Amino acid sequence: MKTEERIYDAVIFDLDGTLLDTLTDLADSLNAVLQQHDLPLHTKDEVRRFVGNGIRKLIERAIPGGTEHPQYEQIYQDFCTYYGEHCMDTTEPYPGILSLLDWLKKSGYQTAIVSNKADFAVKKLNRIYFDGMIPVAIGEREGIRKKPAPDTVFQALRELGVEAQRAVYVGDSDVDLETAANAGMDVIPVCWGFRSRAFLIEHGAVPEQIVANVRELREKVIASQIVQK
C-alpha cells in the first residue's frame, strides 16, 4: 500500500533562471562593460544563451576572440565590479518562489543554493532576497570545481548534513542536469528560466519530470513522499 515517507531531506537549487530572474541585470551589466571597451553589444536573448557556466565563460562567449582578446582579463574584472553594483537593479524572484521556500522551511526541508555565479554575488543575492530562508549558498570560487562537477553540490550537502541520495537538485539548464547526474542525485528541471522545455529534453531531461511553474515543482516534492510499502 501507499504510505507517507519522506524520500528527500533537502532541496538544492540553482540560482539564475531557477530562483531569480537575473537576465536583465546580467545583460545590462555586460553591455555596459562592452560599451566601455568599444565592443559589440548583445541582445538579451544572446546573453541568455551565454550564461550558465560562470562569469569567465560569459565574457569569453561575449567578446571577439574570447580568452584570446587582449582585454579579456580587464573586461572580466570590470564586469565583476559593475555587476556587483547593479545585480539588484531589476532582479526578482520568479512568481511563487518565496512562498515555496517558506513552505519548504516550515515542512522541515533543508535548502541550499549552488550556482556558477561568482560566490560574492550568490551570497549577496541570497542575503537580500532570501534572508533566513536558505542557510547555505555557494557560488564559483577558487579552489573548488564549478558545475557540472559535483564539488560545490557536495560542499553544500556537507554543510547541510545531508547525503546525496536524500536530496534533489532543481535547475533550469543542461549544466544542472549534468551536475545532478555527476552528484548521483535526482533532478527536477524547470522550464521557466533560461532554457526551454525542448532544450532540456534535447539535453537528456525526462519530459515527465520537467515543471513549468512553482505549483508543479511543489507537487513533485510532495509526490516524492508517497512511496509503495
pTM over 0.85: yes
Q: Would you state the pLDDT for residue 4?
A: 53
**What number is the average pLDDT over the span 148-158?**
97
Q: What is the pLDDT of residue 110?
A: 96
For residue 228, is pLDDT > 60? no
In this structure, the dihedral spanned by the alpha carbons of residues 96, 102, 108 and 111, taken in order and rounded to 10 degrees, is 70
Q: Give yes or no for a contact between 95 and 214, defined as CB atoms under 8 angstroms apart.
A: yes
Question: pLDDT digit string (tens) for 82-135?
Answer: 998 999 999 999 999 999 999 999 999 999 999 999 898 899 999 999 999 999
- Length of the chain, please? 229
152 pLDDT exceeds 50? yes
Burial of residue 217 (number of CB atoms within 10 Å: 0-12, 13-18, 19+): buried
Helix (H, G, I), strand (E, B) or coil at 150: coil
pLDDT at 227 over 90: no
- Separation of alpha carbons 50 and 42, rounded Å: 10
In the chain, what is the greatest distance between 2 CA atoms, to the nearest angstrom? 66
**Owner of C-alpha cell 537593479:** 89
Looking at residue 225, what is its pLDDT? 58
For the chain, the first-to-last Cα distance in angstroms comes to 5
Q: How confident is the model at residue 136 (pLDDT cuts 50, 70, 90)?
A: very high
Do 132 and 110 touch, CB atoms closer than 8 A?
Answer: no
Task: Please state, for a pLDDT cut of 70, what percent of the chain lies above it.
Answer: 95
Question: 3-class DSSP state for residue 16?
Answer: strand
Res 83: pLDDT = 93
Strand spans (E) along the chain: 2-4, 10-13, 20-21, 92-93, 110-118, 136-140, 167-171, 186-189, 226-228
Question: Which DSSP state fits 190?
Answer: B
Q: Identify the band that residue 1 occupies on the pLDDT scale cut at 50, 70 and 90.
A: very low
- pLDDT of residue 224 exceeding 70, the answer is no
Give CA–CA dist 181/148, Å, rounded.
9
Q: pLDDT tens digits for 14-65?
A: 999 999 999 999 999 999 999 999 999 999 999 999 998 889 999 999 999 9
CB 118 within 8 A of CB 29: no
**Residues 60/180, Cβ–Cβ less than 8 Å:** no
pLDDT tens for residues 177-194? 999 999 999 999 999 999
**Angstrom distance (rounded) from CA 8 to CA 217:** 14
3-class DSSP state for residue 9? coil
